[in-house]
Each structure stands twice: as structure tokens, then as C-alpha cells.
Amino acid sequence: MDIINESNVKIQSIPQQWYGNGISQLDMLRLDLLHPVVSGNKWYKLRLNVMYALDHGFKAIVTFGGGYSNHLVAAAYTAKRAGLKSVGIVRGKYDILTPTLKDCIAEGMELIFLTKTEYDRADEPDAIKELVAHFDEVFIIPEGGANYWGRKGAGLICKHIKESYTHIVTSVGSATTLIGIRNEAPLTQTVLGFVPMKGGEYLVETVSKHLHPDKNLRWQLFDRWHFGGFGKSNNELIQFMNDFYTECSIPLDIIYTSKMMYGLKQLITEGYFKKEDKILAIHSGGLQGNSSVSGLIF
């Protein structure tokens, strides 16, 4: 399925002056360059889901997300190119559509708006069936692509990762990407996840549950760098993103990868790593979300 051309993906090295002497190498896997709409990790999580739907004769996909969900718009785009209808179940009622939701509609997605309470109940199979009863043969993809095919697809990111790296660093929402990578990467590599929301410890259980038992080691989550919670930021974070852009020529997104790189730099400074460690940080995309942020120089 050649909906997205992966040849845009590249590895870019971060100048040593940015990270100092605490490690020997830091590179970034630029999955943000994959595609302007289906950016970063979203493609990998959707890919095998959409293939499954096509192979099994489904005519539509239904999936879930908030008004700013990168997953929702990526699903709309991918489904359209695959010849499938798409339905997006949106958390919250919007009188004025967000840019993301407008993009979903432009990609042919039908949106169903639920209140937050309704939404939290909507992942029960009966509730979903009722919502999409007017479509035949709909394949249901959970929020964030967090199912078997999403995790398996995320593991495909590893084909871009050389074994010489000692650490793979990723940001975490549903943890689907981190699980896919941990399941696929060799145990000579440690996988570190940075959670951009408060109280992210609950994800430890989610991760453990979905790892192959022999892969349930050499991974760790950090939730210290949430900047007040999911979607929250401050001037310090925006300044950090601007400085990173100036020094490393890489734009970060305000929700996920900025907090990840901020936290990673702090861990390096605190002496968490060994001097010979080689780190690959995954740029999981999300840059379209920066359009509503003021104060960025890129």
C-alpha cells in the first residue's frame, strides 16, 4: 500500500554543542517529514489497520479522537486514499470547528460529535454499533490506533533504526508507538518514553500488558516534563523550541516532541546516561498542531 512514500524519512544528527559531553551521539529520526497530513507515527499505526480492513472487505473505518487529534485527520486521509469511507467520533461538541476537524471533513470524513461523558462510554461495542448503524461493514480502530495492528505497525518504525543506538527515545500518548517499538527492537536497545500529561504512571500497566513477555524489560516512562498537563505549555517551552530550531534546524511540536526533547536534555544533564551512549530520538510529527501557537519563530 503506497499511500505514503517513506523515502522522505531521514536521520539527522543533533550538534554536540546542544547536548554536551554526557553521551556520545544524539540523532533524530525525522518521521515528521513523512507527509504534511499523515505525519510521523500516525501512518505506521494506521497502515496495517487499513490493510486489514481492505483485505477483509470492509467498506468504511470508524475511529475516535479529540478536536485536535492528529490521528483523526491521518485516518481520514489514509482511508480516502485506500478507497474506504471514514467516520470520526469526536470527543466534545464544537460550535466552531478546529482546523483539524475542518481538515477531516475536507478529507471526506463524516464526524459524529459526542459530549465527553457520551464519548467515554462510546468504546463499548454496542455503543459503537449504534453510532455507525447507517454504514455497512465498518472496521473499528480505537483512539490513537491503539490495537494489535496499530502496535504491530508501529514496530515497522524500527526498520529505520540501526542497531548501533543504545537508546531509542519516543513521546507517549496512548503508548502504542512505544509498545510497537519495544516489541520489535532488540534488547540491546533501551526504549525511553516521555509522557506529556500529568500522572502518566497509569501507562506503565498498559505497556506491560501489551509487551511480549520476553520484551518486557529495558524500557522506562518519564512523566516529569508535562508542563502543567496535556496540551499545556508556557513561555519556557516555546523559548526551548525556538532555541532548538536555531541550534539544530529541527521544528518540534508543542504537544509531544518539545516536551520529550526538553526532558531528554535534562536527563543528559543529570547524568542519567553513560558517556558512550548513542541515542536516537524519534520525531513523531504533529507539526500541524503548531499553527495555533504564538511566539514560534518557525
Ligand X SMILES: *Cc1c(COP(=O)(O)O)cnc(C)c1O
Binds ligand X by CB under 6 A, chosen from 63, 78, 166, 284 = 284
Pairing of strands 278-283, 109-114: unpaired
Pairing of strands 11-13, 25-30: antiparallel
Instruction: Report residue 36 as a C-alpha cell.
Output: 504534511
Establish if 172 lies at the interface with ligand X (CB under 6 A): yes
DSSP result, 78-103: HHHHHT-EEEEEEES--SS--HHHHH
Look at residue 132 and give its three-state secondary structure: coil
Establish if 66 lies at the interface with ligand X (CB under 6 A): no
With CB atoms as reference, the residue minimizing the distance to ligand X is 286
Phi, psi of 8 (to 5 degrees): -75, -15
By C-beta, is 135 or 204 nearer to ligand X? Answer: 204
Establish if 177 lies at the interface with ligand X (CB under 6 A): yes
Stretch in the footprint of ligand X (CB under 6 A) among 105-113, 167-175, 204-212, 216-224: 167-175
Q: What type of residue is 192?
A: L
Q: Nearest approach, Cβ of 115 to ligand X (angstroms)?
A: 23
Binds ligand X by CB under 6 A, chosen from 174, 189, 258, 288 = 174
By C-beta, is 53 or 175 nearer to ligand X? Answer: 175
Interface with ligand X (CB under 6 A), residue total 19
Residues 39 to 58 in contact with ligand X, rule: CB under 6 A: 40-41
Establish if 63 lies at the interface with ligand X (CB under 6 A): no
Q: Which residue has the cell 497502515?
A: 47
Beta bridge partners, 61, equal 86, 139
By C-beta, is 189 or 257 nearer to ligand X? Answer: 257
Instruction: Report residue 61 as a C-alpha cell.
Output: 473505518
Q: Nearest approach, Cβ of 48 to ligand X (angstroms)?
A: 14
Binds ligand X by CB under 6 A, chosen from 140, 184, 253, 268 = 253
Establish if 285 lies at the interface with ligand X (CB under 6 A): yes
- Helix 41-55 to helix 148-155 angle (10° resolution) is 130
DSSP category for residue 63: E
By C-beta, is 63 or 284 nearer to ligand X? Answer: 284
Pairing of strands 190-194, 219-222: parallel
Binds ligand X by CB under 6 A, chosen from 256, 258, 259, 262 = 256
Pairing of strands 85-91, 60-65: parallel
Binds ligand X by CB under 6 A, chosen from 155, 173, 200, 263 = 173
CA-to-CA distance for 200 and 219, rounded, in angstroms?
15
CA-to-CA distance for 210 and 207, rounded, in angstroms?
5
Stretch in the footprint of ligand X (CB under 6 A) among 120-128, 181-189, 262-270, 280-288: 280-288
Stretch in the footprint of ligand X (CB under 6 A) among 20-28, 47-55, 250-258, 262-270: 250-258
CA-to-CA distance for 141 and 102, rounded, in angstroms?
21
Mask: binding to ligand X, 134-153, rule CB under 6 A, as x and -? ----------x---------
CA-to-CA distance for 172 and 178, rounded, in angstroms?
7
Establish if 176 lies at the interface with ligand X (CB under 6 A): yes
Binding site for ligand X (CB under 6 A): 40-41, 70-71, 144, 171-178, 253, 256-257, 284-286
